[in-house]
Amino acid sequence: MNYPFWDIPHLGSGWVIGLIAIFHVMISQFAVGGGLYLPMAERKAMRMADKEVAAEWHKQLVRHSKFFLILTGVFGTVSGVGIWFAIGLTHPEATSTLIHNFVFGWAIEWVFFMVELTTIAVYYSTWDRIDPRLHLKVGWAYAVASVFTLIIINGILAFMLTPGDAWLAVAGTGQEASKFWNAFFNPTYWPSLLLRTGVCTSLAGVWALITSSRIDGDKQPALKTSMVQWSVKWLVPSFVATPFLLVWYLFMVPASQRALLTLGIDTIAGGTFSSVTRIALIIVTTSATIVGVAYYLAYRNPVDFNLSHAVSVLLLALIATGAGEYAREMLRKPYVIGRWMFSNGVRVSYVSRINTEGYLAHSEWTWNAGAGNPPPSSYSRGEAIFRGECGSCHTLGGYRSLRTLLDGRDRAGINNFLVMLHEYKADSPYRRFMPPLSGTKQDVDDLTDYLNAQVNPSAPVAKKPVLTAQK
C-alpha cells in the first residue's frame, strides 16, 4: 500500500474506469476511423462526374466534419483525461509502471494527439476557404496522425496482457528501458492492432450513419441513398476479418488466460459459462444483429433509414464495444500487468516477501500509531488489508459484493475461505481469476475479523483508531 486507497461505494473504482473507458473507446476509435472516412469521402466527392451530386456530398461532409470535431475533440478529449484520472487512483502501481516504462511512447503519442487537434480544427474551419486539394491534404494529415496514436496506444494496452518474456526477464532491475521495443511489440501487438483497426473502420461507418440518417430522404433521396450505402460498406472489412484476427489474437494469449474463455466453451452443453464466455457470446450476437440491421434497414432501404434506426445500431455497437473491453480486461486476470503485477497492485515477486514481513509492514497510508493514538486493532488492520488487497475488484455491498459472496459463513468459514486464497494451490477454483491473498497468518486473521464484522454485524467490533498518513 504505497498509495492512498480510492473508495467508491457500491459501484467500485474498477467500474468507474470501465464506464469512462467504454464511451472513450467508442469515440477515440471513431476518431481514427472517422479520420480516414472524411478524406476518403471528400476525395470521392471531388472525383464525381455529376457536379450536382458532388456538391450535395460536399455540404453533407461539412456537416459531418462539424459533428466529428465536436464529438472527438471535446468528448473524446475529456473522457481521455477522465481515464487518466481514474486509473491513477484505482491502479497507481500499474499506472506508475506504464509511465516509467513507456514515458517516451506517451510523449510521442501526445505529440500526435496535438497534431490531431490542430489539423481537425483547421480541416473543419477551412472548408471552401482554401484550395480543395490543400484541404484534402489537411484531412490526410489528420488521418495519419490519428493512425499513429492508435499504433502507439495499442502497444501499451497489449503490453498489459502480454508483456513478453524479454521484458519480464529484466522487470524490477531498473533495466526495463533496454527492452522497450520488446515490450512495445509484444506477442499480442499485431493481432490487437489489426483488430482495433477493423473496429475503427466499423465505428466510422456506424457514426456516419447517425449524420446520414438525418438527411431528408424525400427532398434528397439520391444523396441519402449514396451516403447511407457508402457508410454501411465501412462495416464490411471488420466483420469479414474479425473472426480470423480473433483466432490469431487468442492464439497469442497465454494459455492460463485463454482458459477463462475455453472453460465456458468446452462445457457450454452443460450450461457452464465463464464470465469471458458470456461476454464473447454477447459480442457475437450484437455483432450479428448490427450486420442484420445495417443491411436490411440501411443498405436495402436507405431512404427510409431514420435516426432511430441509426441510434439502435450505435447502441448495439456500444454494447459490443463495452463487452469487448470487458473481455480484454477479464483475460488479464488475475493480473493487471501479465505475470508481473496482480490485479490488486501486488507485484508477483513481492508475494513471498509480504508473506514473511506482513502486508502492512511497509505501508505508508494506514494509521499513525504514535501521538497518543491507541495501537491499531485487528479490525482496523483488516480494513486496511481489505482496501489494499480486495478493494480494486470488490466492494462490501455493491459490485462483486463480499457480503454476498460470504453470506451464511461464520468466522471459521470466512477464515477457511481466506486461507484457501492465501495458500493459492494449483487446484483452487479461484486461481484463474483472483490473485493470492498475500500476508502473514496474522494478516489473514485480521482480514477475517473485518469481513466477519461485515457479514455478521452482531459480532463484536473493536474500536477503530483514526486513520492518517504514516510519516
Contacts of 107 (CB under 8 A, 6+ apart): none
- Whole-number Å distance between alpha carbons of 387 and 406: 17
Residue 1 has pLDDT above 70, yes or no: no
Mean pLDDT of the chain: 91
Q: What angle do CA 266, 267, 273 make, to 5 degrees?
A: 105
In the chain, % of residues over pLDDT 70: 93
Q: Which of 226-235, 359-368, 424-433 has the highest mean pLDDT?
A: 226-235
Reported as a single tens digit per residue, the pLDDT across 387-433 is 999 999 999 999 999 999 999 999 999 999 999 999 999 999 888 88
Q: Max alpha carbon distance in the chain (Å)?
A: 86
Domains of the chain: 13-251 (no CATH), 348-455 (1.10.760)
Kindly state the cell numbers that stand for 118: 490542430
Q: Is the pTM of this model over 0.95?
A: no
- Whole-number Å distance between alpha carbons of 216 and 221: 7
Element (H, E) at 152: helix 132-161
Band of pLDDT at residue 371, cut at 50, 70 and 90: low
What integer is the mean pLDDT of 437-463? 88
Indicate the Cα dihedral angle 102, 107, 109, 113, nearest 10°. 150
Q: Which residues are registered as beta bridge partners of 342?
A: 335
Residue 176 has pLDDT above 70, yes or no: yes
Task: Go through the chain and tell me how many residues it has.
Answer: 471
What integer is the mean pLDDT of 316-327? 92
DSSP three-state, residue 204: helix
Other CB atoms within a 10 A radius of the CB of residue 74 amount to: 11
- Whole-number Å distance between alpha carbons of 105 and 122: 26
Specify the range with the lowest mean pLDDT, choosing from 219-228, 264-273, 288-297, 437-446: 264-273
Residue 271 has pLDDT above 80, yes or no: no
pLDDT at 273: 57
By C-alpha distance, which of 212, 203, 204 is closest to 304?
A: 212
Residue 3 has pLDDT above 90, yes or no: no
pLDDT at 260: 72
Band of pLDDT at residue 374, cut at 50, 70 and 90: confident
- Whole-number Å distance between alpha carbons of 443 and 378: 9
Question: Torsion-angle region of residue 339: left (phi > 0), alpha (psi -120 to 50) or beta?
Answer: left
Residue 215 has pLDDT above 60, yes or no: yes
What integer is the mean pLDDT of 52-69? 97
Residue 434 has pLDDT above 90, yes or no: yes
What integer is the mean pLDDT of 14-29? 94
Residue 276 has pLDDT above 90, yes or no: no
Indicate the Cα dihedral angle 189, 259, 18, 9, nearest 10°. -150
Band of pLDDT at residue 375, cut at 50, 70 and 90: confident
> Residue with C-alpha cell 498489459?
160
- Give the residue with greater pLDDT, 280 vs 304: 304
Q: What angle do CA 206, 37, 243 make, to 5 degrees?
A: 55
Residue 469 has pLDDT above 90, yes or no: no
What integer is the mean pLDDT of 125-150? 98
Element (H, E) at 342: strand 341-342
In sign, the C-alpha dihedral spanning 119, 121, 124, 130 is negative
| Crossing angle of the two packed helices 189-212 and 221-232, in degrees rounded to 10 | 170
What integer is the mean pLDDT of 22-36? 96
Kindly state the cell numbers that stand for 417: 475461505
pLDDT at 370: 58
CB 265 within 8 A of CB 252: no
Q: In whole angstroms, how large is the CA radius of gyration of the chain?
A: 26
Residue 124 has pLDDT above 50, yes or no: yes
> Residue with C-alpha cell 501486488?
346
